[in-house]
Amino acid sequence: MTARPKTIAEIDTPAVLIDLDRAERNIANAQKAADAAGVKLRPHIKTHKLPFFAKKQIEAGAAGITCQKIGEAEVMADAGLTDIFLPYNIIGKAKLERLLKLHKRITLSVTADSAATIAGLAEVFADPTRPLKVLVECDTGAARCGVQTSQEALTLARQIDAAPGLAFGGLMTYPAAGAPEAAEAWLAAARDLLKQQGLACETVTSGGTPDMWRKQDAAIVTEYRPGTYIYMDRYQVEKGAATADDCALTVLATVVSVPTPTRAILDSGSKALSSDLLGLADHGELVGIADARVTALSEEHGKVELTGGATLAVGDRVRVLPDHACVVTNLFDEVYLVSGDRVVDVLPVAARGKLS
């Protein structure tokens, strides 16, 4: 290992740079917005995968954190995070045993969207003095997981409520992007039905960075789980949820080839930027270089098309703003925290690759 770089110029490429000032500003702004809306913030750590930032989010006022897989939650619990929501159906003996161990250490909650998931949880969680909080996942339009009707939500809530080692915690959704009203209407109807039947929803939780800035209706959503807001990315800028100056994550890359005047090749391909397009036309853009877009990726090459007179030379170092920040951090073992040109720290991506 070489000595830790002191400035960005000393970092070998490809590398992930996190602008610490921007990330901290994004944390503060989101917390302020949530506080103003009277909604609890429970950031999703999938974007950064770092205990460092999870702690910063808690310090700023977050009610807890959200993880998607038990392995991520284990990393965060080991690092001292004490309140974790896992909005996932935990299935199978191996995972349920890990979940139980985790439940004994920290404040934990999960979701379920089927009788089978709840039955599995109820078999392992049997202590009525320390029940596991389970929320019912609702498909409010995203067509992923979740019950399809209020009536189904009621049926599952009753099943949870009847299990001695489980406690019904409320409703959870991951809404369709751009359609928060529909999700809230769905949740309100389900919450009201459950209330009529004597089942109070302590928590109604929604997520997604693109719609986080809209005025939350605190009468429905009590908790919000944005992830990307801490780093932002090209997709969020496209959706109007961020400006380019909010984007904290870039990939530092080197131009390794300029085969033609309008084509430059970076040492950063899909292994650095991922193939996630999220519906955008290109795979990224070069910070500060107008008309330079990453138009194609192979595993170790990123093809940049230069238009409008932009030029690049072999050896040039550039910063790529990727389409999707969350998937980029899963591809690197470490990230560089920077402030201006200065390297503040190098952090291992502790929760990277935690798939189960």
Name the site residues for a copy of itself (rule: CB under 8 A).
2, 12-15, 46, 68-69, 88-89, 91-92, 94-95, 113-114, 116-117, 120, 137, 139, 143-148, 254-260, 263, 265, 267-268, 270-272, 274-277, 298-301, 303, 313-315, 326-327, 330-333, 353, 355-356
Position 294, amino acid: V
Closest approach, Cβ 66 to a copy of itself, in A, equals 12
Considering beta carbons, is residue 184 or 276 the nearer one to a copy of itself?
276
Length of the chain: 356
Q: Considering only CA atoms, which of 266, 277, 176 is closest in space to residue 234?
A: 277
Smallest distance from a copy of itself to CB 267, Å: 7
C-beta closer to a copy of itself: residue 33 or 190: 190
Select 94 or 162, whichever has its Cβ closest to a copy of itself.
94
Radius of gyration of the chain (CA): 22
Strand partners, 107: 83
Q: Which is nearer to a copy of itself, 68 or 339 (CB)?
A: 68
Report the alpha-carbon distance of residue 44 to residue 51 in Å, rounded.
12
For a copy of itself, the closer of residues 92 and 240 by Cβ is 92
91-106 in b/e form (b: 16+ CB < 10 A) is eeeebbebbbebbeeb
Smallest separation (angstroms) from a copy of itself to the CB of 35: 28
Q: Which amino acid is at 139?
A: D
Tell me the HSE value of 83 on the side-chain side, using a 13 A CA sphere.
Answer: 12
What is the smallest separation between the CB atom of 356 and a copy of itself, expressed in angstroms? 5
Minimum distance, C-beta of residue 28 to a copy of itself, in the bound complex (Å): 26
**Using CA atoms, how far apart are residues 118 and 74, in angstroms rounded to an integer?**
21
